[in-house]
Amino acid sequence: MRRFLGILVFVVFAGISVNSWASSGGIPIIKEEEPKKSQPQPKLQPQAKPKTKAVAPTISKEELAALRKRSALIAKKKEVLNNTEWDIEMFPLSGKGKSLKDVIVFAENKVSAKSLEDRGFLPTNYTLSITEEGKLIWETMQSKDDEIVFFRGEISPGLESMSGVVSFQKLEGSQDYSFRSTAKKKTSLR
């Protein structure tokens, strides 16, 4: 046993590695490693970065014209939507609980809900898009302290009615509602 331990110590200190055990009797097959030759490492020189310009995606004149037309239409619809108030009725998506009434206000390219303003929420920016059918889709998020409110509304092409969803996210959980407009009026600047 001592002799085996002595050989093992010699193998480790002599730089000889044990590759595998032979299948008969567990005797190690010993292979001598070749000494590693140290080669001088080349010095790395900082290389200049090749100067390339970012390539923008190619867009046809027709596509560009269509995008400009769509952007102009969205800007026009946003202008028409400005200074409007929408009385809404909200219904819990759970089906439990009472409906709530509120007023959504579009003014100065921002949106707010009167009940949220009363609780300290500030009016926020919103995104506006137009579907192929001409419906306006608006979305926003408002936050205050540990509460976040998400709105997504859909307005008819002629701006006569609105429906959508609102989600109140709190630490204790969330409350989700669907809503629909009951009245709309044009207002003066706030």
Q: How many CA atoms lie within 13 A of 154 on its CB side?
A: 9
Average pLDDT over residues 169-183: 94
| 183, pLDDT greater than 90 | yes
Q: How would you classify residue 70: left for phi > 0, otherwise alpha for psi between -120 and 50, otherwise beta?
A: alpha
Q: Is the per-residue pLDDT at 12 higher than 80?
A: no
Can you give the length of the chain in residues? 190
Confidence of residue 37 (pLDDT cuts 50, 70, 90): low
Across residues 138-153, what is the average pLDDT? Answer: 95
- What is the model's pTM? 0.66
Distance CA 128, CA 130 (A): 7
Mean pLDDT of 108-134: 95
- Cα Dmax for the chain: 102
Q: What is the pLDDT of residues 156-170, one digit of tens each?
A: 999 999 999 999 999
Residue 104, pLDDT above cutoff 70: yes
Q: Is 164 exposed, middle or buried (0-12, 13-18, 19+ CB in 10 A)?
A: buried
What are the structural domains of the chain?
Answer: 84-186 (2.40.160)
CA distance 155 to 181: 9
Place 177 in a pLDDT band, splitting at 50, 70 and 90.
very high
Q: Which residue has the tokens 């730089």?
A: 15
In the predicted structure, residue 28 carries a pLDDT above the cut 90: no
How do residues 46-70 score in pLDDT, each as one tens digit? 676 667 777 777 889 999 998 999 9
pLDDT digits (tens, 9 = 90+) for 63-90: 999 899 999 999 999 999 999 999 999 9
Q: Write the DSSP assignment of 169-181 as a string of letters.
A: EETTEEEEEEEEE
Q: Which runs of consecutive H residues, i.e. helices, occur in 91-138?
A: 114-118
